[in-house]
Amino acid sequence: MKVYGLSPEEVSALFTEGMVEIAVYGLGKMGLPLAAVFAERGARVTGVDINRSVVDAVNRGVNHIKGEPMLDELVRRNVEAGRLRATTDAPGAARRADVMVILVPVVLTPENRPDLRALESACRSIAQGIEEGDMVIVETTLPPGTTAGKVRSILESSGLRAGEDFGLAHCPERAMTGRVVRDIMGAYPKIVGGIDRRSTEAAMGIYRAVNSRGVIPVASATTAEMVKVAEGVYRDVNIAIANELAIVSRKHGVNIWEVIRAANTQPYCNLHLPGAGVGGHCIPVYPWFIIDDDTRLLRTAREVNDSMSDYLVSRLEEMLKREGERLEGNEIAVVGLTYRPGVKETYHSPARLVIKHLRRRGARVYGYDPLLTEDEIRSTMGVEPLNGGKVRWAVCLHSNGHEFGVKAERKIELRQIFS
């Protein structure tokens, strides 16, 4: 049943009664859990993906995303119950659905510009099937202004008008890998921003039915976009502060972890942790959505965080020198290749830059990560896997790197880099 123009209470009731048909575009790490939770809460859901093997797996009731608690069971149960299915027919799914939710990736081009092609393609498919009374929601994190600008204009190529014939809102996905189902169901409230009041209200109704913490309506779709970008930028800048403080603390012979622990007991201080850099789909990406001539701090924070890999390799070189060794020709294993511990994701992983700087200085580099297969280490990092072998040096990029079973005569952890 169409939801645009109804009150939040009416939409929530229809949703839980199974009267709302939803299409979720993008069945990846965020989209599949979202589709499964929508179905679990009562909606009839069609997941749309361009990847045929993902679609086939979902239709068999198989979750293809690993490491997400509850997701196997949610996908299996809802496919069996007939509430969740998948298709590659993107316009067809839009024709059937009352609500279309977009959760396809936006990545960066080599020039650090947002690559909106997946988003535009999903919007074009939706424009082919959109009807009066439908609601379109974008959950993908976007440069502020994209929902009310580019997304709206592609959808209006259908001949229908956003804010008159159909609703349009931005409701950013704030979940974290490894706890996505829990986050979607209500670890924190959902931010909801429509291009008009009726869009906001319809979106509120949907997410109130899903998120036990409720929703926070904001003034506009652009405000909602800004909220999500601000969350990411806050962390990037905060990590840059921690990184600079780590470098300065070392110069003073002070332990940065002790400093952070003590400083954060004051309620207005929330220092993050230093490290080899910042990785993943989110934090190193979102600052670029808003960096321009007016955002000197954000650009500097990016530069600081990206320079940490070079700092780390310089420190390693000093350590080797003290032992009468050189990086050139030495065997070094980089341990902890994913962008953070416990998450199988290598997008923008700092390990890649560490490997690059080590190679530039002539080291023979190997990779090790218990979450990656040998082939994955070769294809994502371009290094030979260490598995089973022994090297002279290993540098652990994750705070829990020392737990990895690497055979190395000398293991260097981040703490030693900064001390």
Q: Per CB under 6 A, does 42 bind ligand NAD?
A: no
What sign has the CA pseudo-torsion 338, 340, 345, 351? Answer: negative
Residue at 305: amino acid letter: N
By C-beta, is 12 or 147 nearer to ligand NAD? 147
Asked if residues 81 and 38 have their Cβ atoms less than 8 Å apart, the reply is: no
- Please compute, for residue 236, the number of CA atoms within 13 A of its CA located in the half-sphere on the CB side: 28
> Among 282, 344, 356, 396, which one carries the catalytic annotation?
282
C-alpha 15, offset from chain centre = 27
- Window contacting ligand NAD (CB under 6 A); options: 26-34, 250-258, 359-367, 398-406: 26-34
- Window contacting ligand NAD (CB under 6 A); options: 23-31, 76-84, 289-297, 306-314: 23-31
| Residue 347 token pair | 């997008």
By C-beta, is 49 or 369 nearer to ligand NAD? 49
Q: For ligand NAD, which residue of 7, 51, 112, 419 counts as binding (CB under 6 A)?
A: 51
By C-beta, is 13 or 176 nearer to ligand NAD? 176
The values of phi and psi at residue 401, to 5°, are -60, -30
Beta strand pairing call for 114-115 and 107-108 = antiparallel
Q: Per CB under 6 A, does 104 bind ligand NAD?
A: yes
Question: Is 356 a residue of the active site?
Answer: no
- Please compute, for residue 71, the number of CA atoms within 13 A of its CA located in the half-sphere on the CB side: 26
Q: Per CB under 6 A, does 357 bind ligand NAD?
A: no
Question: Is 269 a residue of the active site?
Answer: no
Question: Contacts with ligand NAD: how many residues (CB under 6 A)?
Answer: 27
By C-beta, is 63 or 177 nearer to ligand NAD? 177
- Window contacting ligand NAD (CB under 6 A); options: 50-58, 215-223, 249-257, 405-413: 50-58
231: left (phi over 0), alpha (psi -120 to 50) or beta: alpha
Q: For ligand NAD, which residue of 4, 25, 166, 289 counts as binding (CB under 6 A)?
A: 25
Q: For ligand NAD, which residue of 24, 27, 215, 372 counts as binding (CB under 6 A)?
A: 27
Asked if residues 210 and 192 have their Cβ atoms less than 8 Å apart, the reply is: no
Q: Per CB under 6 A, does 281 bind ligand NAD?
A: yes
**Contacting ligand NAD within 115-154 (CB under 6 A):** 118, 121-122, 140-141
Asked if residues 19 and 1 have their Cβ atoms less than 8 Å apart, the reply is: yes
> Among 2, 29, 190, 228, which one carries the catalytic annotation?
228
- Window contacting ligand NAD (CB under 6 A); options: 7-15, 27-35, 208-216, 333-341: 27-35
Q: For ligand NAD, which residue of 175, 278, 312, 333 counts as binding (CB under 6 A)?
A: 175
Q: Per CB under 6 A, does 29 bind ligand NAD?
A: yes
Q: For ligand NAD, which residue of 58, 103, 162, 192 counts as binding (CB under 6 A)?
A: 103
Asked if residues 157 and 136 have their Cβ atoms less than 8 Å apart, the reply is: no
**CB 302 to ligand NAD: min, Å:** 18
Nearest C-alpha neighbor of 306 from the set 328, 333, 292, 288: 288
Q: Per CB under 6 A, does 105 bind ligand NAD?
A: yes
* Helix runs in 140-284, H state only: 152-155, 180-182, 197-208, 221-251, 256-263
The span from the CA of 71 to the CA of 93, in Å, is 23
Q: Per CB under 6 A, does 57 bind ligand NAD?
A: no
Alpha carbon dihedral 99, 103, 104, 107, in 10-degree steps, equals 140
Angle 315-281-344 from CA coordinates, rounded to 5°? 75
Asked if residues 86 and 47 have their Cβ atoms less than 8 Å apart, the reply is: yes
Q: For ligand NAD, which residue of 11, 24, 36, 54 counts as binding (CB under 6 A)?
A: 54
**CB 282 to ligand NAD: min, Å:** 5
Please list the active-site residues.
Answer: 228, 282
Residues of the shown chain interacting with ligand NAD in the complex, contacts defined by CB under 6 A: 25-31, 48-51, 54, 90, 103-106, 118, 121-122, 140-141, 173, 175, 177, 281-282
